[in-house]
Amino acid sequence: MPDSRTIPDLLDELARRFPDRDALTGGGQRFSFRELRAAIREVAKGLHSLGIAKGDKVAILMGNRPEWVIADLAITLVGGVMVGVNTWATARELEYILHHSDTCVLVTADRFLKQDYLALLAEIAPRERRLPLLRDVVCVSPAIRPGAMRYADLIARGAAVPDSTIDELSAVVKPDDVAYLLYTSGSTSRPKGAQLEHYALIENMFHIGERMHLTEHDRFWLAVSLFWGLGCENALFNALTHGACVVLQEHFDAGAALEIIERERCSVFYGTPNMTQALIEHPDRAHRNLSSLRTGATIGTPEQIMRVIELGAAEICNVYGLTETYGNCAVTDAREPLAVRLATVGRPLDGVAIRIVEAATGAALPRGEVGEIRVKGYVTCGYYKDEARNREAFDREGFFRTGDLGLIDHDGRLCFRGRLKEMVKTGGINVAPIEVEEILRAHPAVAAAYVVGVPDPVRDEILAAVLVLRPGASITVSELETHCRLALAAYKVPRLFRFIEENELPLTVTGKLQKNRLATFFPGAVTG
């Protein structure tokens, strides 16, 4: 593990240990660790010239560009707090995050894909009243934009700041200072701002990389959005703590991703199931050499994980965690048998305690029983400006309530079993949808299965299954019901079935299934 416990110290340590090794590449730019440190210090000087001091919030809004990473680390270098902003944010959502976080400087691109960020900011008018703390907007654009300072001009401003000033600011950053403020929506109407500390971003991410058996020779393909915890928490600091290189893709495009992975000889895959599927199906895949892929992190069903292996990442790790648990709190070991990596999300990471409890009472459950997953160790120090949520988020023993269901198997590995809020109560009996989904997926005709509850006047809820069949396969509802009855109690057998194509699944912008929308496949459900 690195000796450093603050991000400023880590950057100095990496520049000493690996000065000429690739650290970051993307958008036609390439930085060694020495060059990356120099670029970060340039931006840090510019931020200091704008008055950014310890604890000040600076937000970032752009695609996966090197400037994102440089600005991120520069903010923490002067003791500031980086606020990651969703690149798909609307004007309303942008205003909420900038206002709630007390952001005083925004570093943004002028545009990203179909989003015009300066136009979004213009909608928040009058800005002086609605965002009174936002003093400056820095735009990563060569053109001069009204109401914004160019990124190059920020660097020019900082040229007069002596190196000794940055050294002094970095020296007073403490391991338990907040480095990141990341907003996560969860099940609430307003996003929650999870605060993450320097030391834990270093320590927990190092432990994640150890499960992947990473070295300084590895190269991360990263098209997962940096504002997302999987990007800026997990992947970025996993790479940094191992002296590995981050290869950025500004936004995911399957054809471009295949070219980047081949050209840059990427060995570490970070991606979601929909990304994997797009890579598998792209016509260029057959002509690309992806033999450099080895390990990485993904989530999904066993079949979805097998697709990553099909791409070439034979040692892919199955992971579990939340933004609040520093990306992951359980990870399979890359060298564990494939059956283990498909069926579990691994043992808790070093420094993490996981317990399974009865959600209503908090009573600990024995191994093999499904209950709420609670985590202690590398966990957020709290939600920003939200003491009510903080009281709800932790139990009396200091364990974080994840709201997820799982069990610890007899080998001490965690098995994810869905969201607590996804539990279906049918006829007064609780059913975990994932149990039914596993049985459905066991049928050779079924590629993917998702089970939800839909309202029923007699049973309160009934189970409904949305299914994606394997190419060329066919099966009747009657055959599926028979298959389920062989393995499930009668009340667990779905009473409604819907067959769809995989591209019809409702996904979030980060590729996660929006399970709460699956019930819309059963409008006006009536059962017999």
| CATH code of the domain covering residue 484 | 3.30.300.30
486-489 own/partner pairs: CB under 8 Å, 24+ apart: 487/439, 487/442, 488/435, 488/436, 488/439
CATH assignment of the domain containing 190: 3.40.50.980
User: Per the domain annotation, does 168 fall within a domain?
Assistant: yes
250 found inside a domain: no
Mean pLDDT of 182-207: 87
Q: Identify the residue whose tokens are 């060059």.
A: 35
pLDDT of residue 434: 86
Beta-carbon-side half-sphere exposure of residue 73 (alpha carbons within 13 Å): 24
Q: Which of 298, 302, 359, 353 is nearest to 329 (CA)?
A: 353
pTM > 0.75: yes
H helix and E strand count, the chain: 18, 27
**Over residues 275-297, mean pLDDT:** 96
Q: What amino acid is encoded at 328 in this protein?
A: N
Question: Does residue 60 form part of some domain?
Answer: yes
b/e 278-302 (16+ beta carbons within 10 angstroms → b): bbeebeebeebebebbbbbbbbbbe
Asked if the structure places residue 155 within a domain, the reply is yes
Asked whether residue 490 is assigned to any structural domain, the reply reads: yes
Domain boundary among 196, 215, 250: 196
Q: Looking at the domain assignment, is residue 390 inside a domain? A: no
Question: Which sign does the torsion angle of CA 215, 217, 218, 222 carry?
Answer: positive
- For residue 189, the model assigns a pLDDT of 56
> Is residue 361 in a domain?
no
Contact (Cβ atoms closer than 8 angstroms) between residue 208 and residue 228? no
Task: Give the separation between CA 124 and CA 134, rounded to whole angstroms.
Answer: 12
Residue 359 contacts residue 237 (beta carbons within 8 Å): no
Q: What does the pLDDT look like over 257-275, one tens digit per residue?
A: 999 999 999 999 999 888 9
For every residue of 43-67, DSSP letters joined together read: HHHHHHHTT--TT-EEEEESSS-HH
Residue 339, exposed/middle/buried by CB under 10 A (0-12, 13-18, 19+)?
A: exposed
Residue 113 falls in which region: left (phi positive, over 0), alpha (psi -120 to 50) or beta: left
Counting the structural domains of the chain, the total is: 2
pLDDT over 70 at 370, yes or no: yes
Tokens found for residue 122: 């213009």
pLDDT at residue number 510: 65
Segments forming the whole domain that contains residue 134 = 7-196
The type of residue at 76 is T
Query: Looking at 157, 180, 196, which one is the last position of a domain?
Result: 196
Q: How far apart are CA 46 and CA 427, in angstroms?
A: 63
pLDDT band at 528 (very low <50, low <70, confident <90, very high): very low
The mean per-residue pLDDT over the stretch 472-482 comes to 95
Q: Quick check: is 471 in a domain?
A: yes
Of 163, 179, 196, the last residue of a domain is: 196
pLDDT score for 188: 47
Please provide residue 99's backbone torsions phi and psi, each rounded to the nearest 5 degrees. Answer: -75, -50
Q: Mean pLDDT across the stretch 288-316?
A: 95
Is 527's pLDDT higher than 70?
Answer: no
Bigger pLDDT: 524 vs 91: 91
**Dihedral of alpha carbons 156, 159, 160, 166, sign:** positive
Which one of 195-199, 447-451, 488-492 scores highest in mean pLDDT? 195-199
Average pLDDT of the chain is 94
Tokens 């680390």 found at? 73
Helices 273-281 and 302-311: crossing angle, nearest 10°?
A: 50
pLDDT at 512: 75
**Per-residue exposure over 79-108, b if at least 16 CB sit within 10 Å of its own CB, e if not:** bbbbbbbbbebeeebbbebbebbbbbbbbb
Question: What average pLDDT does this structure show over 173-198?
Answer: 87
Q: What percent of the chain has pLDDT over 90?
A: 84
pLDDT of amino acid 477: 96
Cα 78 to Cα 106: distance, rounded to the nearest angstrom: 16
